[in-house]
Structure 1
Amino acid sequence: MRAVFGMWRPLLDAETVEQRIAARKDRQQLLCRVPKPLLSFVIDEHVLLRPLGGQEAHRAQLEHLLLVGQERHIEIQVMPNGREEHAGVAGPFTLILAKGGRRMAYTEVQSDSTLYSEPTKVQGFESTYGVLRAQAMTPRESLTWVEKRLGEM
């Protein structure tokens, strides 16, 4: 996280970097809460091949993915670079099912973020995610892919 925030332009001051690292660590606590939430991720292969922060940090990231990807409540799928179709070319997004069944979608690009709660807009993101999951490797294939990359390092 520190390596990524250190690359941002314009440069972030040290206090902002520390705040953002703390916020990301806090979000990781979601993985441990009870009941455990079902989490599903589709990650582009090229993102996983980029050694941000150096080889040691890259290896640690892949090992972490492999570890959390083996949890029953977490599904990680890799979108291969060679796919000719990719429903997510418009950019990354997060789908959220809040308490009470409220569905939302969140996008973040550069320094702008948007939270969508209108049902028709959210349904569009949900449809896109369904197609992304169909286009990506299965969770098992994806973990095998991560293991193979680790073996090549």
Structure 2
Amino acid sequence: MAAPRELDPSASALSFFGYELRRLRIDAGLSQECLGRTVNYTGSFVGLVETANRPPSRDFAERCDGALGAGGALVRLWPLVSRSGLPGWFRGYAELEAKAIDIRTYQAQVVYGLLQTEEYAREVLKPTRPVDLEQLTAARMDRQEVLSRAEPPSLWMVLDEAALHRVLGGPEVMRTQLLRLLSLRGAPRVVIQVLPYSAGAHTGLNGSLNLLSFDGEPEVAYSEGYGGGRILTEPAEVQGCARRYDLLRAAALSPDDSAELIAQVLEDLDVQGS
């Protein structure tokens, strides 16, 4: 049997997690296959995580923590690991997003990451990041854990109508994504509005915009362009972005009318596919 690859635990959060997982497993006298069976994952997946070749999901971290008697150590490491799978320029925003109590977003091209299905997210990421596609997709899905917390943030998304008609990954992938949006109709902490074509010129023509609010900390704004994103913290700039966003919400359809439009696009998609 080949000797296990040595890991430098200081190389990255993912390497440190893998190092600790291997150490705890060996101390428990378990093989990768045995641990995998115990936590309902394959032994090969355990090996990939231990060698920092695959990021763990929160579920995997929780199961291994319990099986190995880690006392919460692996679960506490998981947030750092999940963000390590994101592009470097995006990690700062992801850390802020994870702390926010209120998220407001206008999306001009695609559904906001926290509301994407896995298949849709993969299609969004594929054109620009084909090499590390699976790692990035997993990291995007892990970001959605914030919506499952005991006290999740409120999320308000204004989505340009163009995103509804942009079929990514084929009709079935898009159908599942639209159904996901419709399933959130009436959700207590999620509001979805569609900005229709009929709105004409609007304050979001420069691109997508996110606003994050915190408990006891100043609000920040975030925008993306080619090659990276920009976090805005100057009060005057953030206030200007907030005003633009308020005007976008005013120009958008009501949540109920937005759901009706999404349902109509879904129906048209089904007709085209039949």
Q: TM-score, length-normalised on structure 2? A: 0.52
- Out of 170, 183, 188, which is 1:54 matched to? 170
In structure 2, the residue matched to 1:22 is 138
Shift of 1:25: 0.8
Q: 2:152 aligns with which of 15, 36, 40?
A: 36
Output the CA distance in 2 between the equivalents of 1:118 and 1:43. 26
2:122 paired with 1:2: yes
Distance 2:125 2:155 in 1: 24
Count of matched residue positions in the alignment of Structure 1 and Structure 2: 149
Q: Which amino acid aligns with 1:6?
A: K
Alignment gaps of 5+ in structure 2? 1-120
In the TM superposition, residue 6 of structure 1 has moved relative to its aligned partner by: 1.8
Asked which structure has the greater RCO (Cα within 8 Å, sep 6+), the reply is 1
* CA deviation vs aligned residue, 1:75-126 (integer Å, no higher than 9, x gap): 0000101222311001101100123232001111222111111111110110
Report deviation, 1:7: 2.0
Any residues of structure 2 matched to 1:96-115 within 5 Å, and which?
A: 96-115=212-231
Could you tell me which amino acid in structure 2 is paired with residue 130 of structure 1?
Answer: D
Identify the residue that residue 92 of structure 1 maps to in structure 2: 208
Task: For 1:48, give the aligned amino acid.
Answer: L
Q: Cα distance, 1:18 vs. partner?
A: 2.0
Q: Is the 8 A contact 1:31 1:37 kept in 2?
A: yes
- Normalized per residue, the structure richer in strand is 1
Question: SS of 2:134's equivalent?
Answer: helix
The answer to whether 1:74 aligns with 2:190 is: yes
Q: Deviations over 1:40-88 (max 9, x none)?
A: 0110001111111100001011001111233111000001012223110
Question: Aligned partners of 1:118 and 1:2: how far apart in 2?
Answer: 34
Runs of 4 or more, structure 1, over 4 Å off, are none
Unaligned runs of 5+ in 1: none
> How big is the shift at 1:149?
1.8
Say whether 1:12 aligns with 2:12. no
Equivalent residues of 1:59, 1:150 under 8 A apart? yes
The percentage of counterpart residues that share the same residue type is 36
TM-score normalised by structure 1 residue count: 0.90
